[in-house]
Structure 1
Amino acid sequence: MGLFNFNRPSDFLDAAREMADSGRPTLARLLAEEAADRTTDPTAAARIRDEFTGNSLRQGD
């Protein structure tokens, strides 16, 4: 896994893609949800969530 600085939504999204590529779909989904939550554009947030299929794994969702 690469070294990530998690300061921007794109950082979370990059990590999510790397986790998906390495066969860790659960972690990928969680990282993608965080990226979407930090994205100010609702359309972009929806696109991020659509890219990483599956139900939310967060408590309370």
Structure 2
Amino acid sequence: MSRNFHRASEFLDAAREMADSGRPTLARLLAEESAARTPDSQDRARLLSEFPGQSLKRED
């Protein structure tokens, strides 16, 4: 089953699922995408604090 992600909350839900299933790297990437779609900087920081680690996103 494929899933489409459009909202920050959908990325965050998927990040939590990945963390629960033992996939911390994928969880962090999904959390970073959720944070990128979150307008409030305090909410972004809180969200990323749930998924420790350095940024894994590549900048072009």
TM normalised by structure 2 equals 0.89
Indicate the RMSD between aligned Cα atoms, in angstroms: 1.5
> Which 4+ residue blocks in structure 1 deviate beyond 3 angstroms?
2-5
CA distance in 1, matches of 2:2, 2:11: 12
CA distance in 1, matches of 2:2, 2:40: 26
% same residue:
64
For structure 2, the residue ranges without an aligned partner over 5 or more in a row are none
For structure 1, the residue ranges without an aligned partner over 5 or more in a row are none
1:30-41 correspondence to structure 2 within 5 Å: 30-41=29-40
**How many residues in Structure 1 have an aligned counterpart in Structure 2?**
59
